[in-house]
Structure 1
Amino acid sequence: MANPSNLNDIIQRMLNGNQSDEDVEALRQWLNSGGIQNLQVGKYNVNIGQGQDIHIGDRTYQGLNAEAIREVARAVIQGSNATDIREIVRSILKEESQNLAQRENPQSSSRKTILVLASSPTNKARLRLDKEVREIDEGLRRSQHREKFTLQQRWALRPDDLRHALLDFNPEIIHFCGHGSGDDGLVLENDAGLAQLVPTEALANLFKRFATRGLECVVLNACYSEIQANAIAQHIDYIVGMSSQIGDDAAIKFAVGFYDELGAGWSYEDAYSGGCDAIALQGIPEEHTPVFKNLKKKST
């Protein structure tokens, strides 16, 4: 039978994720003996002072550790093994840490992540993507609602980089800047930095899955990308594509105008209009090249 001294060692190993089946069995026997203060044991009922600190011998467990111990106790009584316990502890500590971070900084949970994906293969015409991204960043930094957005960037984008970036950042907004190739797809890069086409259907299927994870808007700031926009618009609420070729200056002005509007607190549709206005105000005759797709309007 475990005593408070070696029980603390067992619990510490569990919290660190390196317990054995023998540790689990020792804890199970101790729990069944009614060893913890305020412990109630039934076939599926274990309650170790819910919401309270846990005292074992001369040690006190608080906060996340106490919550993890409560969940471990429930699982042990119900017959879980060491592998199950390890996953339970990992899951509880991760989830509770995220909840704690949100409670400490409630504004962080309301931030929208803008993920900029840039691709300019060496065997294609050079684009001034650095200028485009820099001006987006500067515009957001000086905007009225700058605290509502986080800008993330991925450069020299390869197909696997695209997947990884979506998984890493789970963005609400995606901004692709680079080359488009109409029916052939969007132009990313291969390992050698040369052009690699991503088919429209593959792109749409990828974004479809992330629509259920919070992806709201996709901007394809690339020539002839309306074809991809039409496909993606079947799944994403708001999307911008280009109906024809678009010059560097127009593409940059559109991007700046779009994010200036978002940073000022306006809607995605307003942002689209602001981007088109930014092109027109410069006297660039390409303000009708960007096209806006709204899945919500289409479905009503």
Structure 2
Amino acid sequence: MTKENHPNIQQSIFGGNTQVGGSITVGNITQNHYHSTTTSTENHPSKRTILIVASSPTNEARLRLDKEVREIDEGLRRSQHREQFTLQQRWAVRPDDLRRAMLDFNPQIIHFCGHGSGDDGLVLENDAGLAQLVSTEALVNLFKRFAKRGLECVVLNACYSEIQADAIAEHIDCVVGMSSAVGDDAAIKFALGFYDELGAGWSYEDAYHGGCDAIALQGISEEHTPVFKNLKKKPSQKQ
């Protein structure tokens, strides 16, 4: 996708103002193109990579993961800030695939769609395409190292993933998990609302509320299933 030649001042998804296609000015601070200035002292890249990792083992209930990813892709493509995001996908993910994808893309946002198993961890696949559990501790150890490399947000769109979200949120600024089982329709609508908000320039917490609203507006009674965890503000209350 090409960038427009004229500057377009919009609100950054991390606060402050971002000027696309030139320099960025907030107060007396000006930075060159491809950097953003926020209301905090942290620097964020102007282009953010979203890594979607999907897993639906053959011996587990089939999920409509293709529809979820398509909705995310289409939502970002039509968004005001589409030039600020790169979407990468990995399917039928095994533990090594997850680790290598993190190394390959060094994402700012990682979105897992698939099955969760509460205390037992998240469900990935083995070489035969069957379920392989990955423990909460193993996930935390992986993600906390990438926090130092720019990982800002983890979305676990999987049943009973609040346990993993709580642990990961000790190291990552913003994490979303599910407090109980979540149906396909609710998971898809949450993803759609979440990335619609990000694509419109809003914060991760706003995106979380947008995802919950997208569930509720469809008349699906699971809008309270997603939970938002914030490293800097615990616990976070839904408005």
Give yes or no for TM over 0.5: yes
2:159 maps to a residue whose letter is C
Deviation at 1:106, TM superposition (A): 4.1
**Matching residue of 2:148:** 212
Are residues 1:190 and 2:138 paired? no
Are residues 1:281 and 2:210 paired? no
Within the candidate set 266, 270, 281, 2:206 is matched to: 270
Specify every segment of 5 or more residues in structure 1 that has no aligned partner in the other structure, as ranges. 1-104
Are residues 1:252 and 2:177 paired? no
Within the candidate set 84, 97, 120, 1:161 is matched to: 97
Following TM superposition, where does structure 1 have runs of at least 4 consecutive aligned residues deviating by more than 2 angstroms?
105-109
Distance 1:272 1:106 in 2: 28
Deviation at 1:110, TM superposition (A): 1.8
Distance 1:179 1:106 in 2: 40
Secondary structure of residue in 2 paired with 1:297: coil
- Which has the larger share of strand? 2
Which has the bigger relative contact order, CA under 8 A and spacing at least 6? 2
1:113-135: CA deviation from partner (whole Å, max 9, x where unpaired)? 00000000000000000000001
Within the candidate set 42, 55, 66, 1:130 is matched to: 66
**What count of residue pairs does the alignment treat as equivalent?**
195
Deviation at 1:177, TM superposition (A): 0.1
Distance 1:156 1:126 in 2: 12
1:162 maps to a residue whose letter is L
TM-score (norm 1): 0.64
For structure 1, which segment, 253-262 or 290-299, has the greater mean C-alpha deviation from structure 2 after superposition? Answer: 290-299
**Matching residue of 1:39:** none
1:63-111: CA deviation from partner (whole Å, max 9, x where unpaired)? xxxxxxxxxxxxxxxxxxxxxxxxxxxxxxxxxxxxxxxxxx9449520
1:184-213: CA deviation from partner (whole Å, max 9, x where unpaired)? 000000000000000000101110000000
Distance 1:269 1:180 in 2: 22
Deviation at 1:298, TM superposition (A): 3.2
- Which has the larger share of helix? 1
Distance 1:296 1:234 in 2: 9
Distance 2:94 2:208 in 1: 27
- What are the within-5 Å matches in structure 2 for residues 1-300 of structure 1? 106-107=33-34, 110-298=46-234
Greater Rg over alpha carbons, structure: 1
Distance 1:216 1:227 in 2: 18
1:17-51: CA deviation from partner (whole Å, max 9, x where unpaired)? xxxxxxxxxxxxxxxxxxxxxxxxxxxxxxxxxxx
Distance 1:255 1:296 in 2: 23
Distance 1:122 1:290 in 2: 26
Specify every segment of 5 or more residues in structure 2 that has no aligned partner in the other structure, as ranges. 1-31, 36-44
Distance 2:46 2:203 in 1: 16
Distance 2:179 2:130 in 1: 25
Secondary structure of residue in 2 paired with 1:298: coil
